[in-house]
Structure 1
């Protein structure tokens, strides 16, 4: 691997990691907010809306899997995919939180733990995708 190619590959991987971090932090902050049930004065989000948004998150995860596992796309395409996914995930979490209006402690705990499972899987997906991207880009530059 040439030094020039290796530096460019490392920069691309670092750039993707740096781009992902604020998205992960925003979701972590939102999950922290969910540790308390939504205030009773708010309008409760209907569970059907939460389920519909869960379906959107699932579809977006499928898109992410296709984008990240196919031909090596450009950095901007990957950034757009990260931003789109985490915007959908944020909406899902806010809807989950809204569904806890008037919920008792057991229901609140169940909703929050279920949302945390989606977050954990999402974090794993994107951390692994970025790691695989770094490996793939290094391999590409090693061949040049």
Structure 2
């Protein structure tokens, strides 16, 4: 059942370059992916959110799609900015998009389905790509 809510995509900027530069492993949690995993857990618990794709405690989280029913994107601005600031403190950029759209609670089993299975997720991905082309490391809220 679909209801109005917020779709959030969080993606570390220039991840491949960052791990090479810092000498981190991409196969196990590093400073950035471990921190993002913790911050996503905190956000999910605070807002009773649903992780659709990407939360990975075994390898660390590089990208994640979250849906929160009955919450406006603007209500999340402070928490999303906090995530960006915390990652910036360790020298990592992150792009975050939060848009209002219809959400469901169907967890994706494949990355492609996670991003393409609903019009709202496709729109959020398009906005994320545009944000990254402009340099990333920002939070975009679309009510």
> TM-score, normalized by length of structure 1?
0.31
TM-score if structure 2 supplies the norm length? 0.31
1 or 2 for the larger relative contact order (CA 8 Å, sep ≥6)? Answer: 1
Structure whose alpha-carbon radius of gyration is higher: 1
Which structure shows the bigger proportion of residues in helix conformation? 1
